[in-house]
Amino acid sequence: MAKEKCPICGSQVFYLKDPEDEYEIYEFELKEGSARFLEEQDECPPLQQDSHIYCNRCIWHGKLQNLG
């Protein structure tokens, strides 16, 4: 995770959609080379380099690996 921020707006807060329920989201912050989920979740989908993520402030979305 090289840049750790949205390429459009610079936000460091993103979300990940649950693959089983498109209305369930998991917010996380990218900081210091790692992702930290904003709320404690018991069952959170794994966050990997090829995970499709969404910026929490603007329209950007893409794979986590595309941030770097």
How many domains would you assign to the chain?
A: 1
Per-residue confidence (pLDDT) for residue 18, from 0 to 100: 86
Cβ atoms 45, 64 nearer than 8 A? no
Domain that holds residue 37: 13-67
Single pTM value for the model = 0.85
- How sure is the predictor about 1, in pLDDT bands with cuts at 50, 70 and 90? very low
Note the pLDDT tens digit of each residue in 8-36.
999 999 999 988 888 899 999 998 878 88
Asked if the structure places residue 6 within a domain, the reply is no
Compute how many other C-beta atoms are within 10 angstroms of the C-beta atom of residue 7.
12
Asked if the structure places residue 3 within a domain, the reply is no
Asked if the structure places residue 27 within a domain, the reply is yes
Note the pLDDT tens digit of each residue in 25-67.
999 999 887 888 887 766 777 888 899 999 999 999 999 988 8
The contacts of residue 43 (CB under 8 Å, 6+ apart) are none
